Structure 1
Amino acid sequence: MSNAPTPADSPERAEQNPPSVSAEAAAASAPVSGLQPEASETLIETEVSSDTATVRRAPKYGRFMTLGASLGAVVALVLTLSFTPEQSEFVPVGFDGGQVFGFLLLICASIGLALGAIVALAFDRALARRTTSVGVEHEVAHRVDETP
């Protein structure tokens, strides 16, 4: 099924038909059992205009950056656990495992965040080529001011 407007929705047909009046306003303006309509009742007029819009898909940058930072945290954890410091007589170890993980987490999460943003930008550029134009209709309803 396509998004193309049908002949019944075409702008030419909208121009041929006068603006419609809502059923509630028409029923309210008709006299009921010989009573005259009140002055406070209003008619509502609807105007329809057509236009075209460009539609394209875009990636969610926050999700790509969060995924990159998460992968950076996993890499920091793997690096921390894979390289355990050994005590040496010549070089005293100044950092424990938590401190090493913290430093690596800052570095790897920042790099992962940046890489996630770059991947999202690449996807955005690739998806920008596949844009489509669709027809849209805009309806505006407003009161008709009648002067007696």
Structure 2
Amino acid sequence: MTDPAPEHIETARLRRSPRYGVFLAVGAALGLLLALILTFAFDGTADTSDAGVTYSTGQVFGFVALACIPIGMAVGITVALILDRRLSRRTRDVLIDHQHVLDEE
């Protein structure tokens, strides 16, 4: 049996960071909710457009959602970046101990 490898201790910097996908999804959901609220708060479906077309409530919701979802995602990612900047100040150094395990059968 051979001697185990010597221990190797290193220093690493540890910090927390937000999960950007979660912030994008929450921003998109809030944008969708805002589109739903705006669709029913300002009922413009009874009006006829200049081209003589009348839009249904679903179509108006789709048009408003096309604008609100990207805006909500942009707000979400901005909040994530601000949190990332604030959390980067709280970094700390930790010691990491590398161990090599040999499986002998």
Q: TM-score, normalised by structure 2?
A: 0.84
For residues 116 and 87 of structure 1, do their structure 2 counterparts lie closer, same or farther at Cα, with a shift above 3 Å needed? closer
**1:98 matched to 2:62:** no
Q: Can you give the 5+ residue segments of structure 1 that lack an aligned partner in the other structure?
A: 1-41, 144-148
CA distance in 2, matches of 1:104, 1:51: 53
SS at structure 1 position matched to 2:5: strand
* Structure-to-structure mapping, 1:119-134, within 5 angstroms: 119-134=79-94
Shift of 1:126: 0.4
Q: Of 86, 100, 104, which residue of structure 2 is paired with 1:140?
A: 100
Q: Of 97, 109, 114, which residue of structure 1 is paired with 2:69?
A: 109
* Alignment-derived partner of residue 71 in structure 1: 30
CA distance in 2, matches of 1:130, 1:110: 31
Over the matched positions of the two proteins, sequence identity in percent amounts to: 41
For residues 121 and 56 of structure 1, do their structure 2 counterparts lie closer, same or farther at Cα, with a shift above 3 Å needed? same
Shift of 1:141: 4.0
Q: Can you give the 5+ residue segments of structure 2 that lack an aligned partner in the other structure?
A: none
Structure number with greater Rg is 1
CA distance in 2, matches of 1:114, 1:123: 14
Shift of 1:91: 7.9
Structure with bigger RCO (C-alpha 8 Å, 6+ apart): 2
Aligned length in residues: 101
CA distance in 2, matches of 1:142, 1:91: 77
CA distance in 2, matches of 1:46, 1:106: 59
CA RMSD of aligned residues (A): 2.1
Contact 2:47/2:54 (8 A) holds in 1 = no
What amino acid maps onto 2:77 in structure 1?
A
Contact 1:48/1:139 (8 A) holds in 2 = yes
Higher helix share: 2
Higher strand share: 1
Q: TM-score, normalised by structure 1?
A: 0.61
